[in-house]
Structure 1
């Protein structure tokens, strides 16, 4: 069976690494593992991050041209379904519903979010388009319970909602971490929510007891690098910046990291949590929506703040506690968050159509 795939927010071929790009690629792999031939129907990025109505007009015109181009493709007659990843008010799917209707095939979505409060304001037209695209979907696969709440609330009659837990683009687990290395933080270094997480990390490090021997490695890079460097400056050589790493280089650090320290301020879910736990690394994160769907170590209540995270660092400095906690999380990843489980969920639902 041939399936058309589209990611309006960030194409799977986008050069900048991110969780969005990683999950788009993982979805394609999961479909291929299930025996589907996947065609990336378009690489047109339909993202407006500024609420610029002129930019939205231009993107809508490009989308209209793409619809005409795609429906005229000879290969399109062989598609049996259309799957769109991450439709939301800043990056609505302006293409998939029209193409699916023209071809008479089922239209499906993965990780769509409803935001009707955006129907007023600078993103009003894009928000309306995102809502219309979600309404048009026969089936929406949701990845977090937070997304499921609004999807259920606003679902049209007859729409199918199916849970597809976030997953890694691998069929087996990596080697278990020796837990003999440094603490590790893995994230792009950007302003906004990412910077807020780094601020919490700095406060957590300051709250650690003077007697504790620790070192933190930060994997990632971005526009807020100088700001984060200033936050970490008081800790001197105890904090190292690794820069942006390839997947192989990052895997090497996972193979020995003692724990992953990442609070997760407003994370959708965070693939780094899955990567770390797959290697048996315990995670320290705050109890936040999205994060709680993928972290299987005890989460820190937000009202406990940095002191709560610091106490957990001390708790996990015990090697046996760290091994036991990491092993339990690793087992959950193996059962629910690898390609096999995701492929089975996608295939079972698509076949039912």
Structure 2
């Protein structure tokens, strides 16, 4: 990890530890105030607990032009991004995609090209709907590695993170607390439930919390759609295409709508936000990945709406290309924050449980 980023975050954390004005703002400050000195692992844990709500910045009396020049949201955002890059495997890919939206766009173009080529070369041996263009076996052969390899990469990165922050064997009670925290997006309520100061300076707003909920549940519904369809195909011999009132379609369409709306709203919120209170170098990469995720949802909806037209093969290639790009970039782009924040919340639950004994 970059030493200068770690040292600056440590300096600011020590000032905050002495002040303690923001103790009730989010999960970061109770964890911060439980320490007297901060190791690199402690700072990494604090950085991944932080949801960048920015409430502490606007409440702080030691921001510029004060000589302490505190900007804790930015300091933790920079350490957080650096930790994802350091723990990722293979590392060079993370350093490329976390900061450059152009690289994400290039990967998307390559994904499109690959899918168009696959549809042209790997001819379907018959089937209905989408399988008339690209067979089920061909889709499995393409997307199974594209899902499993990034998943292995995520597991490697999380294992490195867990060792760095001193994580202990996970108990169900700790996981339950963390999942409950995540499901409610509790830290995006900030302070005393008033919301974030993300997009409108010192005005509190719940917009970012609601948008995160929309994206998260949209993604989970899309994943549930694919999972249910897989069970129906292999477990019950019920093959696609499925009707609108089937679970795969209901989950998929609803998830696609939520994903499209949520990602569009998140991109607008980021446009309104102050880049100097986050990690400016990662702004392009964040926007690029948000737009990619939104495009996955939108292209899926368009494909569903126009699946019976002559445009279906081209639309299928575009949608599958975006999905392929999403999976391949998942460990190396903004999506990583979901995995690391859940791990940070589990570690924080462990700390609280031990402290209460």
Please say whether Structure 1 and Structure 2 have the same fold, judged by a TM-score greater than 0.5: no
TM-score range, shorter chain: under 0.3
TM-score by length of 1: 0.23
TM-score by length of 2: 0.23
The structure richer in strand per residue is 1
User: Which structure ranks higher in relative contact order (CA pairs < 8 Å, sequence separation ≥ 6)?
Assistant: 2
